[in-house]
């Protein structure tokens, strides 16, 4: 292959190249009419690899070029890792679910929300949106991933490039180091500007958390120890406090010290009221004795008064109940009922006494009605006072019992409180140690490899330039080159004889003539067919003329190895040329046996000489396909020119090689190859330049390419 070959291949395929290029460009044009625009968000991350602090020696740490590069590579690889991308995917989906069904267009577009509703069933989205806790929502999404990892829905949402939550989409995030500085630049493109910005923001948050975990492995063991001890101390403290709770519940203690203080105050107040009530009782008794002495002269009145004491006793019982309620139980409803009953009995007693009194005055001249009223009032007051004194006696016994019960509880409570205080102190010590360990861990995080976002992700307000024109140009170029590449590969992989060089390589004999197919001649209007035919048989005619100089008829055998050798076409070309040269010739065609003519086969096998060949200048014998039929050894081995007629489109195999080797063993010397159905461009390697009309430009390029060979 040379430059001329590639130029001719280009010339042959140029029409199909333009058709394929234009067709593919049109298809891409139609497919990219609704091509979505992309938005790019950018952010910068300070890795801090060269500004870390040495805790052992205040100041910057020693810098190691290889270590710095390794740390930067760790950050980049962590960003690109599947685990990070998977967490970003879950976090982004959880964030969008938390926005509700009508989010702000700037945060996420309506088209993106519609796509989200198409990804999952409505009940799944409602279930996730109902979970207000971010951590639990992400856990629910991760659980869904695990359960549906083999489903098509999982692939469409969390793997494909068409979803903002897909791993292949998130893997397109770009990250590179700015020069040799500590800064890393990140960029991410997506069709929704809000999603592009939020994706980059979540990725930075997750990355910083991951890198802190990676860089703080040395202090995690200490923190884990204190956390474990703190958990034990908390459990022990909780157990002691639970004992305190049980102790308080069993002894009905809300607050021991406040209860004892209140009990003392209530007892003192009760003692004061009790003494006052005793004094009131004594005074009432003295007044009642005086009234009874005054009423002693009127026995009938006194007798009548005692009969009315039954009513007074009922009244006294009611007043006792009222006193119990007022001192102890605070039941307003019952107290109101008793008050009404008391008033009713009092009115009844006074009315009966006043209506039935027959005495008007005592011996001292005092009005009996008033005296009776005073006596009744004094009797009622005495009963009421006795009732209150009885209640105070019961309350006094209650306070004595409470003092007896509360006295030993104080020492037990103090013991439990001391136990809790010890455990609480131990808990606080462990907590202090944990705080110190966490502080040390945080110090490491801030001073050694602490990542921080130096430039927050930007909100892209303008879409990136469309790649549509570039895609159309690329598609045109690919379509333009595709036919050429296919033709080249077909030609490269073609195992047929095809060229003069391959024919001579397979047969070991020289190609003396080559003829194009009639179809090729019919499609090429620029070629002078007569001149081309003359040049095609020129070497063969020259060989015949050289043999004629010996004074003997020239014998020619046309031998074919396949049925599609087009030996008839070769005979036609040769016969026309011999006629044009006025050379007498005879053609003996035995190829009829290929059509099943048995008589022709017997004649061919038994022929020793061709009748009449001595009277002509050229005798041509057309042999049948020797791979399918036996050949006539006598005709083949006599002194003659043997021409192997080969079709350039046929594949030369082991069978052809074996048969040709068999013929060579017959000591055939003057044998040559005639190549049929030759490509017009390849024909020039056999007969020279093909006679046809050419422009000056084509002549120039042909000479240039031919010279470069």
Helix, strand, coil shares of the chain, percent, nearest 5, are 65, 10, 25
pLDDT of residue 246: 79
Mean pLDDT of the chain, nearest integer: 79
What does DSSP assign to residue 592? G
- b/e code 185-214 from CB counts within 10 Å (16+ = b): ebbbbbbbbbbbbbbbbbbbebbbebbbee
Query: What count of Cα atoms within 13 Å lies in the side-chain half-sphere of residue 658?
Result: 4
Answer whether residue 699 shows pLDDT above 60: no
Q: Is residue 148 very low, low, confident or very high in pLDDT (cuts 50, 70, 90)? A: very high
What does DSSP assign to residue 692? B
Nearest to 65 by CA among 79, 49, 83: 49
Lowest mean pLDDT among 77-81, 172-176, 219-223, 579-583: 219-223
Q: How far apart are CA 681 and CA 4, in angstroms?
A: 9
Nearest to 191 by CA among 36, 34, 32: 36
Q: Which residue has the higher pLDDT, 702 or 343?
A: 343
According to CATH, the superfamily of the domain at 497-708 is: P-loop containing nucleotide triphosphate hydrolases (3.40.50.300)
pLDDT in tens, 275-293: 777 777 777 777 777 766 6
- Are the C-beta atoms of residues 479 and 21 closer than 8 Å to each other? yes
Answer whether residue 57 shows pLDDT above 50: no
pLDDT of residue 443: 65
Answer whether residue 182 shows pLDDT above 50: yes
Answer whether residue 386 shows pLDDT above 90: no
CB atoms within 10 A of CB 599: 9
Start-to-end C-alpha separation, the chain: 9
Q: How far apart are CA 392 and CA 277, in angstroms?
A: 9
Q: Which residue has the higher pLDDT, 683 or 557?
A: 557
Q: How far apart are CA 687 and CA 13, in angstroms?
A: 24
Answer whether residue 233 shows pLDDT above 90: no
pLDDT in tens, 438-497: 777 766 666 555 578 889 999 998 888 777 788 889 999 999 999 888 888 887 777 788
pLDDT in tens, 421-452: 888 888 888 888 888 877 777 666 665 555 78
pLDDT of residue 55: 47
- b/e code 517-526 from CB counts within 10 Å (16+ = b): beeeeeeeee
CB atoms within 10 A of CB 33: 7
Lowest mean pLDDT among 1-5, 32-36, 463-467: 1-5
pLDDT in tens, 303-324: 555 556 677 777 777 777 777 7
Where helices occur in 251-367 by DSSP H, the ranges are 256-294, 299-307, 309-327, 332-356
Answer whether residue 113 shows pLDDT above 80: yes
| Percentage, residues of the chain above pLDDT 70 | 77
Q: Is residue 696 very low, low, confident or very high in pLDDT (cuts 50, 70, 90)? A: low
Listed by start position, the domains of the chain span 36-215, 256-445, 497-708
Answer whether residue 404 shows pLDDT above 70: no
pLDDT of residue 596: 63
pLDDT in tens, 531-554: 777 777 888 888 888 888 887 888
Q: Is residue 84 very low, low, confident or very high in pLDDT (cuts 50, 70, 90)? A: very high
Lowest mean pLDDT among 481-490, 665-674, 678-687: 678-687
Q: What is the mean pLDDT of residues 151-173?
A: 92
Q: Is residue 355 very low, low, confident or very high in pLDDT (cuts 50, 70, 90)? A: low
pLDDT of residue 297: 47
pLDDT of residue 201: 94
pLDDT of residue 154: 93
pLDDT in tens, 563-589: 788 888 888 888 888 888 888 888 888
* Highest-pLDDT range among 391-395, 479-483, 666-670: 479-483
Q: Which residue has the higher pLDDT, 245 or 696?
A: 245
Helix and strand numbers, DSSP H then E, in the chain = 26, 10
Q: How far apart are CA 674 and CA 589, in angstroms?
A: 17
């Amino acid at each position: 292959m040379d430059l001329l070959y590639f130029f001719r291949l280009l010339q042959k395929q140029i029409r199909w190249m333009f058709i394929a290029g234009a067709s593919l460009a049109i298809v891409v044009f139609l497919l990219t009419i609704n091509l979505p625009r992309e938005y790019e968000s950018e952010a910068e991350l300070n890795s801090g690899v060269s500004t870390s602090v040495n805790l052992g020696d205040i100041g910057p740490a020693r810098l190691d070029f290889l270590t710095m590069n390794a740390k930067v590579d760790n950050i980049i690889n962590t960003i690109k890792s599947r685990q990070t991308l998977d967490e970003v995917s879950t976090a982004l989906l959880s964030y969008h679910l938390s926005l509700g069904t009508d989010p702000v267009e700037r945060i996420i577009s309506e088209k993106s929300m519609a796509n989200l509703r198409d990804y999952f069933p409505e009940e799944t989205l409602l279930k996730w949106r109902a979970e207000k806790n971010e951590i639990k929502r992400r856990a629910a999404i991760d659980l869904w991933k695990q359960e549906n990892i083999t489903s098509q829905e999982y692939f469409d949402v969390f793997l494909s490039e068409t979803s903002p939550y897909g791993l292949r989409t998130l893997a397109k995030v770009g990250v590179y180091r700015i020069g040799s500085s500590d800064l890393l630049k990140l960029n991410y493109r997506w069709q929704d500007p809000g999603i592009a910005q939020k994706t980059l923001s979540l990725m930075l948050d997750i990355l910083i958390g991951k890198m802190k975990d990676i860089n703080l492995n040395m202090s995690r063991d200490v923190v884990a120890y204190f956390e474990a001890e703190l958990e034990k101390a908390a459990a022990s403290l909780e157990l002691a406090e639970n004992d305190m709770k049980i102790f308080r519940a069993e002894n009905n203690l809300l607050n021991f010290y406040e209860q004892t203080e209140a009990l003392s105050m209530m007892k003192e107040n009760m003692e004061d009221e009790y003494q006052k009530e005793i004094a009131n009782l004594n005074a009432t008794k003295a007044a009642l004795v005086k009234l009874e002495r005054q009423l002693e002269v009127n026995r009938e009145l006194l007798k009548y008064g005692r009969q009315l004491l039954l009513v007074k006793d009922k009244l006294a019982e009611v007043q006792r109940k009222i006193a119990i309620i007022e001192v102890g139980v605070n039941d307003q409803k019952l107290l109101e009922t008793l008050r009404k009953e008391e008033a009713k009995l009092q009115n009844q007693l006074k009315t009966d006494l006043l209506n039935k009194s027959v005495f008007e005055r005592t011996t001292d001249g005092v009005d009996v009605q008033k005296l009776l009223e005073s006596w009744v009032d004094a009797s009622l007051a005495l009963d009421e006072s006795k009732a209150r004194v009885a209640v105070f006696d019961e309350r006094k016994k209650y306070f004595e019992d409470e003092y007896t019960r509360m006295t030993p509880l104080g020492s037990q409570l103090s013991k439990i409180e001391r136990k809790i205080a010890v455990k609480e102190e131990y808990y606080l010590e462990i907590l202090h140690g944990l705080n110190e360990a966490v502080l040390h861990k945080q110090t490491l995080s801030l001073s050694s490899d602490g990542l921080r976002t130096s430039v927050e992700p930007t909100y892209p307000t303008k879409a990136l330039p469309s790649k549509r024109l570039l895609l159309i140009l690329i598609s045109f170029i690919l379509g333009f080159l595709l036919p050429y590449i296919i033709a080249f590969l077909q030609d490269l992989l073609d195992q047929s004889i095809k060229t003069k060089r391959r024919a001579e390589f397979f047969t070991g004999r020289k190609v003396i003539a080559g003829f194009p197919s009639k179809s090729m001649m019919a499609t090429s209007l620029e070629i002078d067919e007569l001149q081309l035919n003359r040049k095609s048989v020129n070497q063969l005619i020259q060989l015949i003329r050289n043999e004629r100089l010996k004074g003997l008829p020239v014998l020619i055998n046309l031998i074919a190895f396949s049925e599609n050798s087009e030996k008839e076409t070769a005979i036609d070309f040769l016969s026309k040329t011999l006629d044009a040269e006025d050379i007498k010739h005879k053609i003996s065609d035995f190829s009829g046996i290929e059509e099943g003519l048995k008589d022709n086969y017997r004649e061919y096998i038994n022929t020793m000489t061709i009748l009449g060949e001595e009277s002509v200048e050229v005798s041509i014998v057309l042999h049948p396909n020797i791979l399918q039929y036996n050949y006539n050894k006598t005709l083949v081995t006599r002194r003659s020119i043997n021409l192997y007629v080969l079709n350039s489109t046929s594949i030369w195999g082991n069978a052809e090689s074996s048969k040709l080797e068999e013929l060579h063993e017959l000591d055939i010397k003057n044998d040559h190859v005639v190549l049929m159905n030759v490509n017009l461009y390849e024909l020039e390697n056999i007969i020279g330049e093909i006679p046809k009309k050419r422009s000056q430009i084509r002549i120039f390029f042909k000479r240039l390419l031919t010279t470069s060979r």
